[in-house]
Amino acid sequence: MTDIERVGVVGCGLMGAGVAEVCARAGVPVTVVERDAPAAEAGRLRIARSLDRATAHGRLTAEQHEGAAARITVVDRIEALHDHDLVIEAVAEDEALKLDVFARLDRVPTGEHTILATNTSSIPVIRLAAATGRPDRVVGMHFFNPVPVLRLVELVPSLLTSPTTAARAETFVTDTLGKEVVRTRDKAGFVVNALLVPYLLAAIRMVESGGATVEDVDRGMVLGCAHPLGPLALTDLIGLDTTRAIAESLYAEFREPQYAPPPLLSRMVEAGLLGRKSGRGFHAYDAGPHRGEAATAVRR
């Protein structure tokens, strides 16, 4: 059993919306905080569209859809989280932004047992915990995109996370959300991204050097290795900006060449070619009602 009955989520982008949705679908009331009223409305619509898709594909009944939607409140005031048992930060993968969120959360008079969690995919948890006066109650809870579909959560206690905090977080993830947990040390990239990102960067370097086209790299890994997505299509799904941010965190910590972002990745981010969320990355995507379906590849 878990003692976590109310969850707060800071940020309602792709990841924050997904985390809020899975909590609500598990029967937990969720308050989502965005930076202002327009962003809050955009976040509410993002969650609503995801619930609609799940219902249309038969993954939710109409009753389950209605119940999940009723459990989600989207607001623009972080003070609304004062009475929540678990607050999950899910803003963009930017260390300065996340530090600001944790400093603001630390000023919210939450209960003495409230857990502050981060969905960071690469930033060491202790850096974020240090922005608070309660680092023993800060833990990494790294979900994977798309959150309603993928079952894994990386649980990342820092050197100062209390065993009780880690145990409560793990129980919530497994017993309430029904997801699987892998525990990892508090190192940049944790387990999955420390293994995945060098693979993605190698694919980008292959295209950058002219060794193969975008299409052939992705077809090769799908047809030759039975991967569900090629590495460049997967980079588009993750977001090129997020991929670069993770690579930068890994390189800053380990200083190994395999983690260094290739120039092509940086140039594409600077050009606004961020992948599915911008409509174009290594592939171009349909901008119509089914946006997100791969249409054509960007040839390099």
| Residues marked as catalytic | 121, 142, 154, 193
Q: 143 with 19: CB under 8 angstroms? A: yes
Which token pair is 237? 């799904």
Question: In 3D, which of 78, 72, 76 has the Cα closest to residue 109?
Answer: 78
> Which one-letter amino acid corresponds to residue 6?
R
Q: 13 with 92: CB under 8 angstroms? A: yes
For the chain, the residue count is 300
Q: 292 with 286: CB under 8 angstroms? A: yes
List phi, psi (to 5°) of 168: -65, -40
Burial class (CB in 10 A: 0-12, 13-18, 19+), 41: middle
Q: 202 with 243: CB under 8 angstroms? A: no
| CA 275 – CA 203 distance, rounded (Å) | 15
Question: Angle at CA 254, nearest 5°, toward 248 and 258?
Answer: 65
